[in-house]
Amino acid sequence: MIYEFKYLTCVLQTLIGKVKVYIMKAIVYRKYGSPDVLELIEVEKPVPKDNEVLIEVYASSVNPYDWRSMRADPFIIRFGGGMFKPKDIRLGADVAGRVVEVGSKVKQFKIGDDVYGICTGAFAEYVCVAENRIALKPDNMTFEEAAAVPMAAITALQSLRNKGKVTPEQKVLVNGASGGVGTYAVQIAKYLGAIVTGVCSTSKLDLVRSLGADHVIDYKKEDFTKNGQRYDLIVDAAAYHSLADYKRVLTPQGRYIFIGGAFTIVFKIMLSKKENFEVLSAKVNQKDFIFISELIKEGKVKSVIDKVYPLSQTAEAVRYLESGQARGKVVIAVK
């Protein structure tokens, strides 16, 4: 209601020539629920603050973060995001596009730069973002490929390098290897010199192998917690085993990093106080974007894109990611 009022006010203001207000298309959600709550509407184009740039969005990509926000799942999201309805109706975190305006204090970017990063409200034609949340887009990537990178690749990097402290020749198991995070995790773990085992479902084994995994395990046919192998590091984007199961397959100094899966595991890890069991909460970090950009430029990391949807079909894109069928990333082409 407030949004419609603001929109009508700015249209009226423009009509009477009082102020010049620009309009753009954006996906919004005014209540929590399934992808049916997503609407494509016209809203006021944002104006960058001093430390922000305005990006013309060329592409975005969908993350579980988006559908979790949309559904308020887990419930705890409502405590910060709005108890009965979302406080912020914008959606979409990953962005790739062109800088079209810069705030007065922006030092690193200029109009015309092609960038990618993490923001709020990327499922839109324009978005404002602080300059320390973006990096220059590698030239050897399309906007769609770059839009797949931010949240998933940062998560993969921070779980392997920062928390996991991977060293060459270590045995690393990536659980959930065929998803957004997993496809980058396999490639980054290989880059860091690890011997990588990727766990995924039957139809995605070839994909995970093609990303460089030394071994693949089809979790539909084999339980990696029961096959007698030991790992120095488990990065888990699909945590559905017990802590005892994970402990059994870690080497004595081995580490376990929870990325996503059953939230009960998070509480169990916190209660267990096991030093080698950690929960990752990925943080936006420009240095990490730059690090990943270098890997992309060197051809060490690429994006795996399953499907590309237009902005008007964002609901279908979110539905597809939620179905668990996606191989790698689901992208929204905006421009």
Ligand X SMILES: NC(=O)c1ccc[n+]([C@@H]2O[C@H](COP(=O)([O-])OP(=O)(O)OC[C@H]3O[C@@H](n4cnc5c(N)ncnc54)[C@H](OP(=O)(O)O)[C@@H]3O)[C@@H](O)[C@H]2O)c1
Nearer to ligand X, 70 or 200 (CB): 200
Q: Judge whether 57 and 127 are in contact, CB under 8 Å.
A: yes
Q: Shortest Cβ contact with ligand X: which residue?
A: 179
- In what order do the strands lie in the sheet containing 250-258? 215-218, 195-200, 171-175, 231-236, 250-258, 277-279
Min dist. Cβ of residue 221 to ligand X (A): 12
Min dist. Cβ of residue 179 to ligand X (A): 2
User: Contact with ligand X (CB under 6 A): which of 46, 182, 198, 254?
Assistant: 182
- The encoded tokens of residue 62 equal 């969908």
Binding range to ligand X, per CB under 6 A, among 8-16, 105-113, 277-285, 288-296: 277-285
Q: E strand or H helix at 218, and its extent?
A: strand 215-218
- The encoded tokens of residue 44 equal 């006021």
Binding range to ligand X, per CB under 6 A, among 78-86, 93-101, 259-267, 302-310: 259-267
Q: How many C-beta neighbours within 10 Å does residue 318 have? A: 28
- The encoded tokens of residue 223 equal 């339980």
Nearest by Cα to 225 from 197, 203, 202: 197
Nearer to ligand X, 115 or 118 (CB): 118
Each residue 217-256 as x (binds ligand X by CB under 6 A) or -, in order, gives --x-----------------xx-x----------------
Residues 198/212/234/203 CA torsion (nearest 10 deg): -10
One-letter amino acid identity for 187? Q
**Residue in this structure with the two tokens 């998560």, named with its chain if needed:** 155
The residues, any chain, with a CB within 8 Å of residue 309's CB and separated by 6 or more, are 316, 317, 320, 330, 331, 332, 333
The site that binds ligand X (CB under 6 A) totals a number of residues, namely 29
Min dist. Cβ of residue 83 to ligand X (A): 22
Q: Judge whether 180 and 207 are in contact, CB under 8 Å.
A: no
Min dist. Cβ of residue 225 to ligand X (A): 11
Binding range to ligand X, per CB under 6 A, among 140-148, 186-194, 198-206, 292-300: 198-206
**Residue in this structure with the two tokens 């790698």, named with its chain if needed:** 328
User: Contact with ligand X (CB under 6 A): which of 108, 120, 201, 276?
Assistant: 201
Is there binding between residue 178 and ligand X (CB under 6 A)?
Answer: yes
One-letter amino acid identity for 213? A
Is there binding between residue 303 and ligand X (CB under 6 A)?
Answer: no
Nearer to ligand X, 53 or 69 (CB): 69
Binding range to ligand X, per CB under 6 A, among 51-59, 109-117, 279-287, 307-315: 279-287
Min dist. Cβ of residue 17 to ligand X (A): 46
Tell me the chain's radius of gyration from C-alpha atoms: 21
Is there binding between residue 260 and ligand X (CB under 6 A)?
Answer: yes
User: Contact with ligand X (CB under 6 A): which of 60, 69, 170, 175?
Assistant: 175
Inter-helix orientation angle 286-297/180-191, to 10°: 70
Q: E strand or H helix at 226, and its extent?
A: none
Report which DSSP code applies to 261: B
Where in 139-158 is the site for ligand X (CB under 6 A)? 151-152, 155
Nearer to ligand X, 43 or 207 (CB): 207
Return residues touching ligand X (CB under 6 A): 63-64, 151-152, 155, 175-176, 178-182, 199-201, 204, 219, 237-238, 240, 259-261, 280-282, 321, 324, 326
